[in-house]
Amino acid sequence: MLLEKSLAIIFALLLAATVVNGLLVLLRPTKDWRELTLRIRTWWVIIALFSLAMLSPHWLALTFFALVSFMALKEFLTLVPSRQSDRMPLLWMFIAIPINYWLIGIGWYGMFVVFIPVYVFLFLPARMVIAGDTQGFLRTASQLHWSLMTTVFAFSHVAFLLVLPADGQQTGALLVLFLVGLTELNDIAQYLWGKSLGRIKVTPKVSPNKTLAGLLGGVATTTLVATWLGPLLTPLNWPMALLAGLIIGITGFCGDVVMSAIKRDIGVKDSGTLLPGHGGILDRLDSLIFTAPVFFHFIHYFCY
């Protein structure tokens, strides 16, 4: 019941945001609200799919997360230059996705944490060598490793939270809700604090909109909400929940600016157009790519 109530609250907040957006369009018709409207509409789709995944059996939820990893990896690979000789390594990268999520499904933690970072990491360049193309070898290998580590391995830690043993009312789905909710809250809070009070730029050459006020305000907001929600949704007591919120706030900021740096290096503003008002899948997952593995190992070490 706690999961259903939590999801209902999220939908209620989204409904309130939709009503406010509608009022703004009516009361201030001269201003362009198109991007905000698109963002809210897309959030309805995202939250609906996410809720269905949380309420589904584990195998179906893991399939959903595997599909997200597949689309994110595909999106990443369309942004970076590729060589004709890398077709087979690319195929093996996509083959690694179902294997990775199968390891999660059977709860084989020991193999999960080394499958991509060790075995696939070593296998890909060895397979690339067979083609005999050394032109741009190091850059290509780095791009392939980075794309697989972020979109599949790092992100799949969200899915692994689902299969962690239940503790009374606490379920893996509530852990996922706690992580994803705070990560998105952190993004929103940093944006609002930065717009309201932001003057000092943190990373002016990478992401000019990131300010010190946004960073500190976002981390503080995320930490306070985590301290309140942690004992309700997770096995954490309030001091550990406070620490978890602090970790999510800081790592979320790091994920955002690192992915911004990658997009600037590639020369794109958004990673894609799949999510109207948001950009691509990577634009929505950037913070989560960093928060997911750090929070997972934090909760796994202290609670499991």
Confidence label for 246 from pLDDT (cuts 50, 70 and 90): very high
Confidence label for 166 from pLDDT (cuts 50, 70 and 90): confident
Q: What is the pLDDT of residue 165?
A: 83
Quote the pTM value. Answer: 0.93
The answer to whether the beta carbons of residues 123 and 90 sit under 8 Å apart is no
CA distance 302 to 263: 35
CA atoms lying within 13 Å on the CB side of residue 22: 7
Read off the tokens for 227. 């301290």
Distance spanning both ends of the chain, measured CA to CA: 23
Q: What is the pLDDT of residue 277?
A: 67
pLDDT digits (tens, 9 = 90+) for 168-186: 666 899 999 999 999 999 9
CA distance 33 to 96: 42
The residue to which tokens 């999106």 are assigned: 75
pLDDT digits (tens, 9 = 90+) for 33-54: 787 788 888 889 999 999 999 9
Q: What is the pLDDT of residue 254?
A: 95
CA neighbor of 56 nearest in space, from 154, 194, 171, 225: 171
Q: What is the pLDDT of residue 29?
A: 81
* Mean of the per-residue pLDDT values of the chain: 91
Confidence label for 101 from pLDDT (cuts 50, 70 and 90): very high
The answer to whether the beta carbons of residues 183 and 226 sit under 8 Å apart is no
Q: What is the pLDDT of residue 167?
A: 67
Q: What is the pLDDT of residue 24?
A: 81
Q: CA 90 from chain center: how many Å? A: 22
Confidence label for 143 from pLDDT (cuts 50, 70 and 90): very high
* Residue 272 pLDDT > 80: no
Q: What is the pLDDT of residue 168?
A: 61
**What H or E segment, with its residue span, contains residue 100?**
helix 87-105
**Residue 241 DSSP symbol:** H
Q: Which residues contact 270 (CB under 8 A, 6 or more apart)?
A: 263, 279, 280, 283
Q: What is the pLDDT of residue 205?
A: 86
Confidence label for 288 from pLDDT (cuts 50, 70 and 90): very high
% of the chain with per-residue pLDDT over 90: 65
Confidence label for 21 from pLDDT (cuts 50, 70 and 90): confident
Angle formed at CA 179 by CA 257 and CA 265, multiple of 5 degrees: 20
Q: What is the pLDDT of residue 170?
A: 66
